[in-house]
A and B are shown apart, each in its own frame.
Chain A
Amino acid sequence: MGDAAFDAARWRPPPLIKNPRLRWALGLGAALYLAIAIGALDVNWLRVYEGLDRGLAFFLAFTEPDFSQRWNDIRAGLIESLVMTVTSTVIGIAISVPIGLGAARNIAPLPIYLLCRGIVAVSRSFQEVIIAIFFVAIFGFGPLAGVLTLSFATIGFLSKLLAEDIEDIDRGQAEAVRATGARWLQLMNYGIQPQVMPRLIGLSLYRLDINFRESAVVGLVGAGGIGATLNTAFDRYEFDTAAAILMTIIAIVMAAEYLSGLIRARVQ
């Protein structure tokens, strides 16, 4: 006991991974991986060095962004992005709600549950840009391809979270409504909807925000929005215009986050 008390004087915090062998193996593995991965980076340092000037130019551009020169392009792109955001969020919600109901195990029969979960999984697996490439190939260039892409991506996000929320509801309320002899639609309307509505509104607002950010990206592959303008600005090294566009995007996202915070605080 005496030795133990002596050792206890040099107390150390317990390690995160208790098994010392596993700890060492993980540490060594991580170090080895890092060495290999950084070795495989294959950087053209000369090119990086040459680029530093351009990097500096870009950062300086943020101090004097050029909104005026390409203002017409920026405005058209922004309006298209915003329009796509609204349209795709509305369509996405309209499709997500039934799929979300179907993907909740406590109210949907097994075949519908599996089908809806499958749709959610497919929608979540691929990046918006990949889906946008296909939709552009199928529906042609323009905002419609972007709207469809964002709607499709919304389904995976909203249905999944809505379904999880429905699975977590208080069963007592739904049972009470059912006990009054309510039909299925009435059960949804009075037993389930009031319980999930605040969260659904919050998630929809959050998705609106995400859709705006993503609408800047789908434009890179020709699906409309501000992305095309941004891409052109970068290609021409017009960093002041690019800085203006990026600052506008950031400002809109900040405003949207602030507004959705206000609305969510009121709803919940």
Chain B
Amino acid sequence: MPLIERNGAKIWQRRERGKQLAIWFAWLCGTALFVYCWQVVSQATTWFFVWDAPRIAADIGGRMVPPRWSYIAKIWEPLWDTINIATLGTLLAIVMAVPVAFLAARNTTPSRTLVRPIALLVIVSSRSINSLIWALLLVSIIGPGVLAGTIAIGLRSIGFVAKLLYEAIEEIDPAQVEAITATGARSGQVMAYGIVPQILPAFAGISVFRWDINIRESTVLGLVGAGGIGLQLQASLNVLAWPQVTLILIAILSAVVLSEWVSARVRHAII
């Protein structure tokens, strides 16, 4: 514990001088970086619009209420599409993520030097790219529609599901696997009776958690033409139909809250 003697009195300090200086230097660099970045942003900004923002915000807010409740008849189907995109996309992701997870886990991968890095690269690539960008790409490849959205959600979710799943696989109790192996089980049987029962609760939890996130993400896929309620949102925004926008936002909010509730209940029941 660093003590400083000053006028014969010992004063306690939290850190030694060198460490204190290093921390100050780090703060200085961080602040300088932030100030520089802020200036770049500031130069690219039309400040006139920003000073005008409160008026615009009040204007838009005024136009948004009351919501146009009659529009609700037109959003049931897109809402159903949105839920389908999220659910089918999650299923697609699970089908692809399970093998990737087994290839990426240190204790189940067939080759640590060759296969594991490839599996990890798949995970990182899938996680790095947002579902909207996947959707943008798929819309330009297979055309607009629900299918593009489903595949986009699927591709985006592989990384998430596989990462959490392979961490769960790495944390299993090796004694159980050993016990099954000792009975003379083949590798498939070791998998089925030694590993799978241990990760099944984690797997179910991860899948439901991702489904919940996917409901959230699939609400905006329509902005790039990949189906769901985002299409309606885009259409309403394009014609500046703010009361419809409000209603759609309320619908999205309800779907998100509902899916979060379902996911919490299911995870609570499993764990």
Interface residues of A (CB under 8 A from B): 13, 16, 33-34, 37-38, 40-44, 47-48, 50-52, 54-55, 58, 79-80, 83-84, 86-87, 90, 125-127, 129-130, 133-134, 137-140, 142-144, 147, 213-214, 216-217, 220-221, 224, 227, 230-231, 234-235, 237, 242, 246, 249-250, 253-254, 257
Contacts and interface: CB of A to CB of B under 8 A. Distances in A.
Given A40-B84, A129-B132, A230-B133, A83 B50 contact: no
Contacts of B219: 127, 130
Contacts of B133: 216-217, 220, 227, 230, 246
A43 B145 contact: yes
B110 interface: no
A257 B159 CA distance: 14
Contact of B41 (A143, A227, A246): A143
A138 B223 contact: no
A137 B53 CA distance: 9
Given A13-B197, A83-B37, A138-B57, A55 B84 contact: no
Interface residues of B, number: 58
B150 A249 contact: no
B128 A54 contact: no
Chief secondary structure at chain A's binding surface = helix
Contact of A48 (B88, B143, B197): B143
Contacts of B50: 139-140, 144
Nearest to B224: A220
A24 to B, nearest CB: 17
B34 A37 contact: no
Given A87-B37, A125-B253, A214 B130 contact: yes
A44 B143 contact: yes
B217 A127 contact: yes
A51 B137 contact: no
Nearest to B124: A254
A193 to B, nearest CB: 11
